[in-house]
Amino acid sequence: MTSTEERSAVRGHAQDPGEKRVVRPYGDTTGDGMVQLSFTLPVAHDKRAEGAALQLAAKMGVEPAMVVHAKAMGPHFTFFIVYGSVHHLVDLAQVQVVEREYPLLSAKEVDTAIKAGLGRPLVVVGACIGTDAHTVGIDAILNIKGFAGEKGLEYYGQIEVVNLGAQVLVPDLVERAQQAGADAVLVSQVVTQRDAHLHNTREMAAAFREAYPADRRPLLVVGGPRFDETAAAALGVDRVFGRGTTPGEVASYLVHALVPGGGARSERQEHHR
């Protein structure tokens, strides 16, 4: 197993002995299969548009379905909410997720581990790449104000943060990471139209692999609300974080992945200074 696979091991759902294995959606009564969908059709809001929404729902397996909300979005689009029943079942034993394989540490524990394991600050370079101008995600992790009641990585005494902000070109990101001696590169992607977040991530991963020897490349971490956390290997990065990730989770992972004695140390962790 490669170091990337070790860090992003995908595990099946841990079954509670008292939990049902096969389930259906729950709406009004147990097992009724009721679901609610929202979507937009490029048609003006009228009876025909509502009929089209019901036709689409039926083709998706929602039947019988009813339009519970329809609103014109300008003269040529209509937004719908459709409610109805599906007959599909979910097998919980087949659910694949990325389990957190490391303990959550306090800021003091993170600093202590880095100081003892590295003997120097851990350098983190962060950015939004491509045309993405949404810094809310990267700032939530890096800025001292943090997110969800947790202070960002700038608060940690043993983490040196270089926040490059938004719309950073991949070559510039690689250059700044080299200049800073980055242990880890954190990239946030919010813009997802036409899978821009996936294309940008693959481009970034390829650029770092070209610019660094395999044993000296910094840890590559990406995050955003539309990423699949199981897709790290396919994207060429070491870890993917989804929506709701907190600074403490990221800091704890960095210790786990980069600090000797932190859990998943790799050979490249000796590459600095």
Residue extents of the structural domains in the chain: 25-88, 102-270
Rounded CA separation 150/138 (Å): 14
pLDDT of residue 140: 93
Rounded CA separation 250/123 (Å): 13
Specify the residue for token string 């202590």.
Answer: 112
Q: Which band of pLDDT confidence, cut at 50, 70 and 90, is reported for residue 266?
A: very low
What are the Cα distances from residue 168, in Å, to 163, 186, 200?
11, 12, 11
Say what the pTM is.
0.74
More confident residue, 12 or 42: 42
Reduce the DSSP state of residue 221 to 3 states and report it.
strand
Specify the residue for token string 């519970």.
Answer: 68
Identify the bridge partners of residue 142 per DSSP, sorted by sequence position: none
Rounded CA separation 174/180 (Å): 10
- How many helices and strands (H and E) does the chain possess? 8, 12
**Is residue 185's pLDDT more than 80?**
yes
What is the mean pLDDT of the segment spanning 17-42?
89
pLDDT of residue 195: 85
Q: Given this chain, do its domains 25-88 and 102-270 carry the same CATH topology?
A: no
Distance in Å from the first CA to the final CA of the chain: 29
CA angle, 260 as apex, 6 and 172 as ends, to 5°?
75
pLDDT of residue 192: 76
Determine whether domain 25-88 maps to CATH 3.30.30.60: yes
**Is residue 271's pLDDT more than 60?**
no
pLDDT of residue 3: 43
Any idea which residues carry the catalytic annotation? Answer: 145
Rounded CA separation 209/212 (Å): 5
CATH number of 102-270, picked from 3.10.129.10, 3.40.50.280, 3.40.50.620, 3.40.50.10800:
3.40.50.280
What is the mean pLDDT of the segment spanning 129-140?
88
